Amino acid sequence: MKERETVSSLDIGHIDPTLYNDDLAPVKPQGRSWGAFEIFNVWSNDIQSLFGYTLAASLFLSYGLNGWAVMAAIILAGVIVMFLVNLTGKPSVKYGIPFPVMVRASLGVRGANFPALLRAIVGIFWYGVQTYFASTAVTLLITALIGGGNGTTYLGLSGVAWVSFVIVWLFQIAIFWQGIERIKHFLNWAGPLVYAVMLVLMVIVWVQAGDELLPAVSSIFSGAGERNGTAIGAFLAIVGTMVAYFAAVVINFGDFTRFVKTERQMKLGNLLGLPLNVAFFSFIALMITAGTLVLFGEALTNPADIVERVDSLPLTIVAALTFFAATVGINLVANFIPPAYDLANLFPSKISFKMGGLITAVIAFFVGAFWISFISQIGIPGFVNALGAIVAPFYGIIVVDYYLIKRQQLDIQALFSSKPGSLYYYTNGWNTRALIAFGIAALFSLSTVLVPALSSLGGYGWLIGAGLGGLIYYGLMRQKAI
């Protein structure tokens, strides 16, 4: 009952209009329709996207580590992420507020725009990249039905690929324009469907590979490839890379849990969707990758490439549509909702949730268009780690502030007030201590990705950044209290 009183306690007549619009307002309990199934599908679509599959499959090939160790590292990463999102999701279940409003408590009502803007940039990048990956499934479908054109390319994309990219880009705009509920329904059928197609693809590859499949699995599991550094370092790098992959969702998980009915539903969805789901999906990815090694003489990590080589038009059509749906689903939820809220938080009176989404889509168009010709050249793990490292310190700051400084109690009214002296006004609306903590931690975590001398720490810069951000913030805030 206290949650209902807390959520409904916002006095609209005494708020700052530059901090409020209907999209940023707390969601009341009676307005929530998400349960464990919806949270499970957030994670299932995330790892089941074409990008997620490529990353999961490549981990078995890139680190020269025993397969069981790789699987253990992936599962451990799932457990870690589950723990992390349970912490960031809980406040929004209680108060019904999105990430940019939640972060006002620690950064200040004006300072919150800084992490929101950085998070928006990360989300826009992911939105563009995933739009490209979803378009490869459409390219595969069109090519299978009518052919691939004359082979002429521009910025690395053929004419068919460009048409596919534009189709996916417009389709996503059409979906998100209809609101959160339509996105939820799209996600709920896309997640389970992609599992069914992945299982069918695994069976087909297994049947065609025959008795040679299990030896191929053993070959990959042996970890006979080249490895730089120690096995422990490789293990930790895989854990860190997988955590960093989910980092964009981890920090702003409240954007989703504000729609969840209860904390118990959130935790159940996280359990099913993270360690259990990640382990099962990674197993499927391993089996299919081993099958491609037998059938085609090379380990293929892109599902679109695999389906293209399996000579079956019906499978090609179904798989292309399914991977398109899965990738679009996570793109809308994980990479559209956060920047849409974040951009709306910058100018609430001028930018609504829909307008923020439209801005996101326009900028992301150019990110996806340049993915092949430029952005992808830096490599998937490095791209994931660099983006994750930038926002990592904010996770530590938010969690430490809510659980250790604020003791899990927020003043909702103050989150929408810029009156000098109000609880979250700090110094002209900015908490300078939080900014100092972010600056120091972000510099170090990003350097683990970009500075060669710190390459031994590469892969888990996100965890380091989050830990340092929280530790430094706690020290500075405790010093203020003393």
Q: DSSP of 402-469, one letter per residue?
A: IIIISTT---HHHHT---TTSTTTTBTTB-HHHHHHHHHHHHHHHHHHH-GGGGGGTT-HHHHHHHHH
Segment 7-33, tens digit of pLDDT: 445 666 678 888 999 899 999 888 899
Segment 414-468, tens digit of pLDDT: 999 999 989 999 999 999 999 999 999 988 888 877 777 776 666 677 888 899 9
User: Do 46 and 330 contact (CB within 8 A), yes or no?
Assistant: yes
Answer left, alpha or beta for residue 82, where phi above 0 means left and psi between -120 and 50 means alpha.
Answer: alpha
pTM of the model: 0.85
pLDDT averaged over every residue in the chain: 84
Write down the H helix ranges in 103-230.
104-107, 113-146, 159-176, 180-209, 213-221
| Over residues 317-332, mean pLDDT | 80
**How many other C-beta atoms can be found within 10 angstroms of the C-beta atom of residue 338?**
31
What is the distance of C-alpha 95 from the center of its chain? 23
Buried-exposed string 61-72: b where 16+ CB fall within 10 A, e elsewhere: bbbebbbebbbb
Is the domain covering 2-481 a CATH 1.10.4160.10 domain?
yes
Q: Give the percent of the chain with pLDDT over 70.
A: 89
Helix axes 50-62, 313-330, angle to 10 degrees: 100
Distance CA 50, CA 292 (A): 16
**Which is more confidently placed, 207 or 101?**
101
Q: What is the pLDDT of residue 463?
A: 84
- pLDDT tier, 157 (very low <50, low <70, confident <90, very high otherwise): confident
The segment with the largest mean pLDDT, out of 109-118, 211-220, 316-325, is: 109-118
**Does position 3 have pLDDT exceeding 70, yes or no?**
no
| Lowest-confidence pick of 224-233, 253-262, 307-316 | 224-233
| Lowest-confidence pick of 62-76, 130-144, 240-254, 371-385 | 371-385
Distance CA 477, CA 397 (A): 10
Give the torsion sign (CA, 408, 410, 415, 421).
Answer: negative
Segment 85-142, tens digit of pLDDT: 999 999 999 999 999 999 999 999 999 999 988 888 888 888 898 899 888 888 888 8
